[in-house]
Structure formats: C-alpha cells, structure tokens
Chain A
Amino acid sequence: MKVCFFHLMPYRFLPDDFERKYRSVWVDVPHSLYDPEKTAGLYHEFLDELEFAETSGFDGLCVNEHHNNAYGLMPSPNLMAATLTRRTSRAAIVVLGNSLAAYNPPLRVAEEFAMLDLLSGGRLVAGFPVGTSMDMNFAYGVNPATLRERYYEAHDVVMQAWTRPEVTSFNGKYNQLRYINIWPQPLQKPHPPVWIPGGGSVETWEWTARLDYVYCYLSYFGYKRGKVTMDGFWEAIHRVGADDNPFRAGFLQLVCVADSDAEAERLYFPHVHYFYQKCLNVWEGFAEAPGYRTLKTMQVGARPQVGAQARKIRQELDWAKYVEQGYVIAGGPATVRQQLMECIKSLRVGHLMVLLQIGSMPKDLTFHNIELFTRDVLPHLRGAWPGYKDRWWPEAASQA
C-alpha cells in the first residue's frame, strides 16, 4: 500500500459571507478578495507541510494544477514540485498533473517532467489530467468540443518525445512538429509512471485501462460516493482483460485525525466546513461547458462535483453528515483506521491519497493531523494488499 499526502493549496482567507455574496470560487472569483502578502506566506506554509509530510513518513507528495481558483493556488504544480525536489530526498513527487491540452506545444510538459525527474533523481510520477471544465474551457479558453481529442493527441506527442530516441516528426491535427528532440530526457526508463486523474468520464476509464496507466479519482465527496466511479473503472479494466492489481487505482480522501471522535469535530469542523461551503462554491454556469462531457458520459448519468445540484447537497451538510456520508473520514485513530481500510478495500485502491490540510486549516493544526495520521494510522494501512506488485511507482522513491 502506498499512501500519499495531497495538497490543494487553498486560499485560507475568504470572507465569512463569501458563499452568500459571490457566485463562484472559480473562474470569476474577484481579485479584491486576494491579498498577495498573505499568499506569499501561504506558499511557504504549504511547502513546509509537504516537506513535513515526507519526514513524517508519507510515501509520496501530490500537487495539482488549477486556474482562476481560490482553493487551488497552483496554476503551475511543476514549480512546487521543483522546490520539493531540492528539499526532499525520499518520497515520490506526484504531479497530478499537467493538463496536456493547455500546453502548446505539449512538448513543454515532456520537457518539464523530464527536468523534474532528473532533479528528483527519478522520483517523479507523471499525471496527465484532461482538466476540469472550469480550468480548461473557462480559464484557459480551450474548446470543449475538441478538448479530449486535443488531450489524446498531446499525450501521444509527449510519449513520442520520451520513448523514441531519434529526432522524429509529428503531423497531428493540433500539433505540427517537424523536429521532436527534447533535451533533457527523463531519468526513468522508458518513462516515469503515468497516473491519470479523472472525474468519472467513461472514455477516460477505458483509455486508461487500455494504456495500462493508474486511474485516480480525485473526489471531494468521499469513498462512499466514489464507489460508483471506481466500480466503473474496474469494469473497464475487466473489459480490456487486464488483471485486478489494486495498484492500478488511486483515490483521494479527506481525513482528519484527533485523539477522539469528539475532539475531531471540535478541531476540524470549521475548516472542513470552509472547504465545502466556500471552496466548492462554483457557479452552475461554470460547472460544465457545453460539450465538456460526452453524450456517452451524460447518459451514464455521471454528475459534476460542483454546480447547482452539488450546491444543494453541500448546503445541507453539518459535521454528522460530513462524517456519516464519508465526505471526511474523521475521528480518533481507531475510527479513522477502520474507515480508511473500508475505503481502500471497497474501492480496491493501492494508491491512497489523503488531504490533511483542508480549507482554512492553519499550519499547526495541519502538522498535528499529519503527526497523528503517520503515527497512528499509516502503519496499519501498509499491509492492505499483500502479494501485489506496484508497477506504477518510481523505483528511486523509498519507504520511510
């Protein structure tokens, strides 16, 4: 079992009335709410947390990419990963990831990931998300009708740049490259492990399964609601005839550990509530550009994580519901251990990612959460999948 510490880097200082006064935390969140001095401090706070997560025993550190977003201050996860390569020495650096369709040419991703792999001594996991509609269609103006096609083509460009040693050409629909010949090449051969963060589109399951990559569901709604999506992935794995190695799958879960269940509510509720009420307050019009989901996915009925329906569900949440419905796994160590094991087993997940800095959670409390998690929970999860080999993990990354 591999357990990774995931950071979103949320802006912690949104006003109390944010979700009533402003329609969206994403795309058109007003600049007037943003304080550069505070943000400069936040970056160092968040990097401290990531570095502390490594020394505390996590197997990997995850960063991701968002744009125009007050809960994800990482337009460039590669910059964060680059600083981590210098301040860490053991954990895998999991960039989840670079939204391929946003890079022109996508060779930029092949180059930067190669640099990160070299800087980290071969500890990089390369994540390739399609990207959310908010990021790709609205913030970056990518056409929803061709986003996926562009993504698949960009993936092919990156793989060609990484795996074909000679100078090659690529005559694509979106990329015409006469001389592909990136310097430098990645350290890991044939290339760093590839993880695909997805949001439940049918096409991504099948594509990921066919290419033998890891599928990661980055859900904010917990393992109970995540089951439908992960089951869909495992069915796709079954359809392509691949084995059921749990290391094919990753899942993100929010976790709060305290000395007791009651203490967990007292310590963490305001920050969890900040996350669900403010950070996920996305205007319905931005939740999904027309054409972002394919007809096939719409017919399966997969819903976006944000927007009107999601808002309605969110607004009715209190601590009891966050916990009962599995949005957050929270409580004393015994409670957290038992539920996380249930999460791991029911979703069949070999790569667990946990979000321990949640919403407005300050550094001292995040450190507390990391300490308790790595001391009282993580060691008990290690043996969850005996007998399976993780073929999607950088060899240079090692366990604490």
Chain B
Amino acid sequence: MTVKVWAGAVELRVLAAGRGAPLVYLHAYHERGGWPACLDRLAERFTVYAPYHPGVQGSQGVESLDDVADLTLAYDELLGALGLASAHLVGHGFGGMMAAELAATVPLRARKVVLVSPLGLWRDDLAGEDILVLPEHELGAVLWKDPHSDAARRWATLPEADADNVAAQIESIQRRAAMAKFVWPIADKGLRKRLHRLTAPTLVLWGDADRANPPGYADEWKRRVPGARVKVMPGGHMLIHESPDATARAVREFLS
C-alpha cells in the first residue's frame, strides 16, 4: 500500500502482513527487498508494517524532508495515518536509528523498541567501515559474518541482463543516496542528547562480527538508554538476514 504524509508531499510504500499487535519495521542501507525473512516469522504473531524510507523503491518525497527531525515527524505521521496510536518499533542500522529517534521524539508511539545494530552514535575509536560508499565487491565481506553463506550470495547476485543490471545499480545508488541525506558524512545527528527520552522497554541486538557498526556500540546504547537490554549474537551487520530464525525468536521473546 502507499500512504501519504507530510501534507501530501511524502508518499510512503508500505509492505504489510500478519496479524496481532502492530509492529513497524524500518530498514537498513543494504536491504533491497524491504522485507527480510525474519519479518515472515514475526508476522505470525504481529501485524508487521515495513515502509520503504523516502527516496527508496518508490517511496517518494525525500526532497521535502531536510533532516532527521523532519523524517522522524514523517514517521510519526505514518503511524497516525495507519491508525496506530502506538506500535512496537523495530529497526536495523539506519532504520534502528530512526526507530530510536521516533521513540525518543514521540514516546507515546512506542510500545517496545528493538534496535538491531542501530546507527546514530559515533566514537572515533569505533568508526567501522564506511558502508554507504564501499563498492559492491568490497561490501560483502564487511556486511556479512560469512560472505559465502547462501543469504550473502543471494544478496550479492545482481541481474545479468544489461538493462536490469543497470537498473539495479541505479536503485542501489538511489537507495543509499536517500538515506545518506540524513546521516552524511557521519551518522551522529545528536541522538545522544535525546536518548534519555527513549523510555519504552528496549532490546538492542548486535552481531558479534559486525564490521560495519562495531558491537562496541552496544555498550554505549546500554549506558545511554535507561534499562535497555543488550543481546550480542553470532553474526555480522546483516544479522537478521544471516539468522532470521534466531533473531525473530529473540524479538518475539522480548515483545511478548
């Protein structure tokens, strides 16, 4: 479905499935499909809504949003437009940062919050790899704990036909460009000042081999979000794709 917000200037494509309490999932830089397999597992218990960020895969209107504050309010409006007074908020990477921003800005929207390797904090000694700009052939080894796993191979395969291949490359640039707008050149836009407002029960998940956003940040989140639980699991930055069952289980356990 598509949902208009921001006085009609932003039109979000939202994938939705399942039944149960509402859960909104916000995606990371390198998720092409917008619906990782773990969402199928979560849809068994929850009504899952997965919007594409503005500027990604047909979600329109990124040019009307100037910064993280605008994007956060646009997501607040999305929940309103979906008729959700509140929902569980789950996000990965950039999406994790946005889930935290939304929960901190409008606390009443957040029932429980799950952040998987969220961006949003910065430490010079934990810089991680610059995954917004890494070329495709260098990216796999950074994103995945095992770049030769089936999930990593499926992710790395681009269409072979010329026109489709070019379209896929343009999609990748546009997708990253849309999110880069809100985080360039460093994904720290002051969230740390707002994290004391994140009062919903929060679970932070991290892959122990995350080279894009090192697991050392998990301690920062624990320190800054009152009462947050942290769970480090075997995996890389693409944890939820590498271990869909285990991550879905961890999320379900926490939310129920």
**A→B interface (CB under 8 Å):** 137-138, 141, 143-146, 173, 284-286, 289-291, 293, 295, 298-299, 308
Contact = CB atoms under 8 A, between A and B. Distances in A.
A141 B181 CA distance: 12
B130 A291 contact: no
Contacts of A289: 132-133, 180, 184
A198 B180 CA distance: 23
Given A290-B132, A298-B173, A145 B180 contact: yes
A47 B44 CA distance: 72
Given A285-B138, A290-B132, A137 B174 contact: no
Given A285-B135, A285-B138, A298 B170 contact: yes
A289 B183 CA distance: 13
Contact of A137 (B62, B173, B176, B185): B185
A379 B186 CA distance: 52
B88 to A, nearest CB: 30
A291 B180 contact: yes
B184 A141 contact: yes
Contacts of A143: 180-181, 184-185
A144 B135 contact: no
B15 interface: no
A144 B176 CA distance: 11
B181 A146 contact: yes
A145 B181 contact: yes
Interface in B106-138: 130, 132-135, 138
Given A144-B177, A290-B174, 14 more contacts: A137-B185, A141-B184, A144-B181, A145-B62, A145-B177, A146-B66, A173-B66, A285-B134, A286-B133, A290-B180, A291-B180, A293-B173, A298-B170, A299-B170
Contacts of B138: 285
Nearest to A141: B185
Interface string B148-182: 00000000000000000000001001101110110
Contact of B180 (A144, A173, A284, A308): A144
Name the residue among B62, B130, B133, B174 with the largest chain A CB count within 10 angstroms. B133
Interface residues of B, number: 19
Contacts of B181: 143-146, 291
B10 to A, nearest CB: 15
A141 B130 CA distance: 13
6 contacts: A137-B185, A143-B180, A146-B181, A285-B133, A289-B184, A291-B176
B170 A295 contact: yes
A285 B180 contact: no
B133 A290 contact: yes
Nearest to B174: A295
B68 to A, nearest CB: 12
B18 to A, nearest CB: 32
A137 B130 CA distance: 13
A145 B133 contact: no
Contacts of A285: 130, 133-135, 138
Nearest to A307: B135
A359 to B, nearest CB: 26
A290 B177 contact: yes
B135 A284 contact: yes
B169 to A, nearest CB: 9
Contacts of A293: 173
B58 to A, nearest CB: 13
Interface in B166-225: 170, 173-174, 176-178, 180-181, 184-186
Contacts of B186: 141
B184 A144 contact: yes
Nearest to B62: A145
A138 B173 CA distance: 16
A93 B18 CA distance: 68
Nearest to B138: A285
Given A285-B135, A285-B138, A291 B177 contact: yes
Interface centre among A141, A145, A308 (most CB of B within 10 A): A145
Nearest to B172: A290
Contacts of A173: 66
Contacts of A145: 62, 177-178, 180-181, 184
5 closest Cβ pairs, A-B complex: A291-B177, A145-B181, A290-B176, A290-B177, A141-B185
B74 to A, nearest CB: 15
Contacts of B135: 284-285, 308
Contacts of A308: 135
Most chain A beta-carbon neighbours within 10 Å: one of B138, B170, B173, B186: B173
B42 to A, nearest CB: 29
A286 B176 CA distance: 14
Contacts of B62: 145
Contacts of A295: 170, 174
Contacts of B134: 285
A145 B174 CA distance: 10
B97 to A, nearest CB: 16
A295 B178 CA distance: 12
Contacts of B177: 144-145, 290-291
Contacts of A290: 132-133, 173-174, 176-177, 180
B98 to A, nearest CB: 16
A146 B138 CA distance: 27
Contacts of B173: 290-291, 293, 298
Contacts of A138: 185
A190 B66 CA distance: 35
